[in-house]
Chain A
Amino acid sequence: MLPRALRGWVLPIVLVVLWWAAVRFGWSNSPLLIAPGKVWQTAVEQFASGKLFAALGASLWRDLAGFAIGASAGLLFGALLGASRLAEKLLGPSFHTLKQISLFAWIPLLSVWFGLGDAAKVAFLSLAAFFPVVLNTFEGIRSVPADLLEVGRVLRFTRVQTWRKVILPAASPSIFAGIHLGLIYAWLATLGGEYLLVSGQGIGNTMVDGREHFWMDLVLFGVIVVGLVGFALNWVASRIEARALAWRGGSVAQF
């Protein structure tokens, strides 16, 4: 038996060895079967020529811009729905209906309204981040325990104090979960936007390019980059989350 830490490496290594063997011994003569080394060369070339950074920079910039717009709008809207029963009754049903529409179905409409450029993509990304943030903010605020609000009332907190010291801290785990989801959706939408609104630069365009020219190495490299970026965004989000929620400490673990 292997030590636990090494077990996870077995399957990936077996796969790479199989891949290498398939190329080395010519198991298939498809032009799509390229050597692992070729992917590495492409990676080095993309790094050295700066193409990767140009494409990735364009994608990430759009991703973050759209995410920032969508998440802040989502926070405000979610807080409104959470704080006011009237707002929830007036706007909630419309929101939940719109939410049902599959995200990517918006793209053709957005492309008519905003063109094929960055404006349409950023609008689409903010929509992608908006929905999960609203939902989680709303649920977070709604599930603030009534006891906490009563304590706030006993201490004669002003409205601002109630929000800053009671509601937001109590709702923060759910709000952060929403922001985290929004970040993941925005990254998915970044790719979708680049495939469907084909203009300009981006990592999605790089992959579309590779596919059209049957450059398997470029496509595989793109898949790896997309995975790494998704992983990095996830990691950053969970770090920030852990940091921001550190004050909650091990309160759960004490029980």
Chain B
Amino acid sequence: MSAVPITRRSAPLAPPDLAAWRKLLPSAPTRRQLRDKLLAWPVPLAVLLLWWTAARFEWIAPQVLPSPEAVALTLRDSLVSGELWANLQISLVRVLTGFGAGLVGGLLLGVAMGLSPSFKDYVYPLFKAFSQVPVLGWLPLLMLLVGIDEALKIILIGKAALVPIALNTCKGIQGVPTRFIEVARVLRFTRWQMLSRVVFPAALAPIWNGVRYGLTHAWLTLVVVELLASSEGLGFMIVYGRQLFQLDVVLAAVVVVGAVGFALDKLLALVEVRLLRWRKEAF
């Protein structure tokens, strides 16, 4: 149906060869996007060049700043030897276990506080006081109580993830617009329908926000816990390199830490797009 008016209109207006040519050239927005992408490069390249020259002419001692090649070589070597993979795997298992525990706890706590005002009255002040002490404040205490084994890391990472998830879940549920609830009442939804069709879908965006914060905090905590108390993992690689004054190892591990943090956040952002796809239809 719709194809008919288009052919009728386009035939006299644009000769077909011009349209074909236009297809070959990048259209205006992509050309601008390309220019923007290129503009991102001068600064990092200049820094890299400066770094490289500084290392090349030994303006700075290699113990203080190793050359970019040394870092790249170390990164490659530790990838090839499997050392990096082993450490990365340990770190990832830790962060996912801790995050998983924090996620389950945070969701349960957040849902309970969000749905039951009287539960919130009892629990929220203690929760708030508990969350005022940053993860690092609990560290010495937990080291005394559970030692410096896996339990310490899992508990701290779990705590780091739990607080933002619980807070956002609770706020998200309480922030569901009353209009929605009223509509559901008019439709005589059962309590279960009310929760599964109205409350949770409406609260999903803030809850997911909390989950993303939780994962970011979990990763941050993993690094600091491994720096302080570990004999394996990415954080340990950093400490180890630092102790031996092998800054190329430190920098290589820092690069990996950054890349993994980025990848984890991107992963959750992708899931978010899928989870919240239905929302777009409204606009």
- Report which A residues bind B (CB closer than 8 A): 1, 4, 7-12, 15, 32, 86, 89-94, 97-98, 100-109, 111-113, 187-188, 191-192, 195-196, 204, 207-208, 210-211, 214, 216, 219-220, 222-223, 226-228, 230-231, 234
Contacts and interface: CB of A to CB of B under 8 A. Distances in A.
A216 B134 CA distance: 18
B125 A12 contact: yes
B17 interface: no
Interface stretch (B164-172, B179-187, B203-211, B219-227): B219-227
Contacts of A98: 258
A102 B140 contact: no
Contact of B123 (A11, A92, A102, A103): A11
A10 to B, nearest CB: 6
A86 B123 CA distance: 49
24 contacts: A7-B121, A8-B121, A11-B125, A12-B125, A12-B129, A89-B40, A92-B40, A100-B258, A101-B258, A102-B257, A102-B261, A103-B220, A108-B227, A108-B250, A109-B250, A112-B63, A196-B228, A208-B140, A219-B141, A222-B137, A226-B137, A227-B137, A228-B132, A230-B137
B88 interface: no
Nearest to A226: B137
Contact of B122 (A8, A90, A188, A220): A8
Nearest to B130: A227
Contacts of B43: 90-91, 94
Nearest to B135: A188
A222 B140 contact: yes
Contacts, number: 144
Contact of A214 (B144, B228, B262): B144
A196 B125 contact: no
Contacts of B132: 227-228, 230-231, 234
B242 A111 contact: yes
A214 B135 CA distance: 20
Pick the 10 closest A-B CB pairs, nearest first: A8-B125, A93-B40, A101-B258, A226-B137, A227-B133, A108-B242, A7-B121, A89-B39, A211-B140, A104-B224
B220 A94 contact: no
Interface residues on B, range: 35 or more
B50 interface: no
A104 B137 CA distance: 15
Nearest to A113: B64
Contact of B224 (A32, A192, A223): A192
B118 interface: yes
B247 A109 contact: yes
Contacts of A231: 132
B240 to A, nearest CB: 10
Contacts of B39: 86, 89-90
